[in-house]
């Protein structure tokens, strides 16, 4: 966290000894055993870069690569618009990433701005405005994931990326001589079934296929058990609270007599509904033993009746998802494949935020790839690509290590109870907490809180 925004280039990526595109192409040697019966790749099935997944990380990567003039092919297993389990909340960090891409966010088109975060717990309540900083806007927003991902995907298409929907990637294509990924195998649904398997070839592949990341697993990259994991469930209710201009977080989540490490949220969507959900971490002894849907029901059952969080007002099913945190799959680059977003475990351990970090990792990956394609030798291109994990560690490593310490601490019910009870009554402490948990500080200088957070992140080892 020594730098808070990916620069146009990284010192390790600009030594000028570049590689021509053919040095990364793989060419006709890019084959894998078991391709008998797979049609030969057509020109439309080849690209400079194939991106697997059109979520925020995949579409952001595609946008920046296409904007740089590369031929980008995005393969998405579903079709838009599509459902996605999410709190739908966008912090100033996410707003900055969207602004950098030029994504329009008009308030009269479903983008509901918010002023900050309202925290309730320990018998107290406090409203904290987002800090107004040079590096971040002083507002957040909400936008339903039903069409948020589609907006980003279409934005990438406008920049020149090619998108194929209803295409399920079944595995990587690996050059038997070099062990490098040179494409993917996939099936495109045709209405009558999953379709015939096709080969898609590329010079590089980006895994943006989410928490399970089958592509990463196929390349031997499994989740790390020493990293935190969150679970979240959410649904929607018609409610008079739909136009709240604060995101609301409740810290009093109880499993019987035990306070859980997590929070409940109420995010007004501005369309007559509120997104209501709960999330908790695996640092609690209760993790894996909690009925999360029942926990959600008990929590909202104590809400005032006039808020409308009742079964007859529920508009969507209760759905859940895992939150891969703090670099829970590494390395982030191996043998011609880069990991971004949830596939790379980019969720912030402090607050469960994923969209901003998915988009930022996509931009960093894209800049790395552009530098690699600009090198004149294969060795130079590979050096540029191998810098990608280092850049991620430079930006987030120390901060994520602090996050892992934090989630272990709040996994202790006594610590969680005391921190909630005493912290929420102290506005100065809570403003500092908002900056820390939201990763919202000035890149350089700033106030004493900013300097303290930077110092802690810098001296904390990035593991």
In tens, the pLDDT along 256-303 reads 777 888 899 999 999 999 999 999 888 877 777 788 999 999 999 999
User: What phi and psi values does residue 83 have, to the nearest 5 degrees?
Assistant: -80, 150
Determine contact, residues 268/244, Cβ cutoff 8 Å. Answer: yes
Q: In the chain, how long is the greatest CA-to-CA distance?
A: 67
Q: Is 108 helix (H, G, I), strand (E, B) or coil?
A: helix
Instruction: Please report which confidence band the pLDDT of residue 20 belongs to, taking 50, 70 and 90 as the band edges.
Output: very low
Determine contact, residues 234/266, Cβ cutoff 8 Å. Answer: no
Q: Is 235 helix (H, G, I), strand (E, B) or coil?
A: strand
CA distance 141 to 99: 12
CA distance 120 to 146: 28
Kindly write down the DSSP assignment for every residue of 10-50, as one continuous string: -GGG-SS-B--GGGGT-GGG---TT-TTPPPPPGGGEEEEE
CA distance 286 to 303: 24
Token pair for 381? 């291109």
Going by C-alpha positions, the residue among 73, 24, 19 that lies closest to residue 47 is: 73
Determine contact, residues 262/230, Cβ cutoff 8 Å. Answer: yes
Q: Distances from the Cα of 203 to the Cαs of 21, 183, 305, 354, 424, in angstroms?
A: 8, 7, 57, 28, 52
Give the model confidence (pLDDT) of 295-334 as tens digits: 999 999 999 999 999 999 999 999 999 999 999 999 999 9
CA distance 269 to 273: 6
Going by C-alpha positions, the residue among 75, 71, 74, 76 that lies closest to residue 25 is: 71
pTM above 0.85, yes or no: yes
Cα 13 to the center of its chain, rounded Å: 24
Q: Are strands 167-174 and 333-334 parallel, antiparallel or unpaired?
A: unpaired
11-84+146-224+326-403, what's its fold? FAD/NAD(P)-binding domain (3.50.50)
Kindly tell me the sign of the dihedral angle through the C-alpha atoms of 341, 344, 346, 352.
positive
Going by C-alpha positions, the residue among 52, 149, 135 that lies closest to residue 439 is: 135
pLDDT of 34 reads 34
Q: What is the 3 state secondary structure string of 252-266?
A: CCEECCEECCEEEEE
Determine contact, residues 52/72, Cβ cutoff 8 Å. Answer: no
Instruction: Please report which confidence band the pLDDT of residue 388 belongs to, taking 50, 70 and 90 as the band edges.
Output: very high
Instruction: Please report which confidence band the pLDDT of residue 19 belongs to, taking 50, 70 and 90 as the band edges.
Output: very low
Which has the minimum average pLDDT: 86-100, 205-219, 254-268, 322-336? 254-268
Listed by start position, the domains of the chain span 11-84+146-224+326-403
Question: Mean pLDDT across the stretch 151-163?
Answer: 98
CA distance 296 to 63: 37
- The CA radius of gyration of the chain, in Å to the nearest whole number, is 22
User: What phi and psi values does residue 120 have, to the nearest 5 degrees?
Assistant: -125, 130
């Amino acid at each position: 966290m020594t730098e808070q925004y990916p620069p146009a280039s990284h010192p390790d990526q600009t030594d000028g000894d570049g590689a021509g595109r053919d040095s990364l192409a793989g060419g006709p040697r890019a084959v894998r055993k078991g391709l008998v019966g797979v049609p030969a790749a057509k020109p439309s099935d080849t690209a400079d870069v194939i991106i697997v997944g059109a979520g925020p990380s995949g579409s952001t990567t595609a946008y920046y690569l296409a904007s740089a003039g590369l031929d980008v092919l995005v393969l998405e297993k579903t079709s838009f618009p599509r459902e996605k389990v999410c709190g739908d909340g966008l912090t100033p960090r996410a707003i900055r990433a969207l602004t950098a891409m030029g994504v329009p966010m008009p308030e009269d088109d479903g983008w509901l701005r918010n002023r900050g975060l309202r925290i309730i717990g320990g018998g107290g309540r406090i409203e904290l405005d987002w800090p107004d900083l040079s590096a971040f806007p002083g507002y957040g927003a909400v936008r339903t994931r039903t069409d948020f991902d589609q907006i980003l995907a279409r934005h990438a298409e406008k920049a020149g990326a090619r998108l194929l929907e209803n295409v399920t990637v079944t595995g990587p294509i690996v050059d038997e001589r070099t062990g490098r990924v040179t494409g993917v195998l996939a099936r495109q649904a045709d209405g009558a079934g999953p379709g015939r398997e096709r080969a898609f070839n590329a010079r590089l592949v980006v895994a943006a296929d989410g928490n399970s990341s089958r592509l990463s697993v196929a390349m031997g990259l499994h989740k790390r058990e020493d990293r935190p994991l969150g679970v979240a469930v959410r649904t929607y209710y018609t409610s008079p609270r739909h136009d709240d201009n604060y995101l609301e977080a409740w810290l009093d989540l109880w499993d019987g007599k035990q306070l859980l490490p997590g929070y409940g949220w109420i995010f007004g969507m501005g369309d007559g509904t509120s997104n209501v959900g709960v999330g908790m971490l695996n640092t609690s002894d209760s993790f894996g033993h909690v009925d999360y849907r029942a926990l959600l029901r008990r929590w909202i059952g104590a809400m005032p009746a006039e808020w409308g969080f009742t079964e007859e007002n529920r508009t969507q099913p209760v759905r859940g998802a895992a939150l891969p945190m703090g670099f829970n799959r590494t390395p982030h680059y191996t043998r011609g494949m880069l990991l971004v977003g949830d596939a790379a475990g980019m969720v912030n351990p402090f607050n469960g935020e994923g969209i901003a970090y998915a988009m930022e990792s996509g931009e960093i990956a894209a800049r790395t790839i552009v530098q690699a394609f600009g090198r004149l030798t294969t060795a130079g291109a590979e050096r540029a690509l191998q810098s990608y994990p280092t850049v991620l560690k430079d930006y987030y490593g120390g901060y994520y290590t602090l996050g892992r310490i934090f989630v272990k601490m709040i996994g202790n019910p006594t610590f969680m109870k005391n921190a909630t009870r005493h912290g929420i009554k102290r506005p100065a402490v809570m403003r500092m907490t908002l900056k820390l948990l939201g990763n919202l500080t000035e890149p350089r200088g700033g106030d004493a809180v900013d300097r303290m957070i930077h110092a802690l992140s810098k001296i904390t080892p990035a593991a």
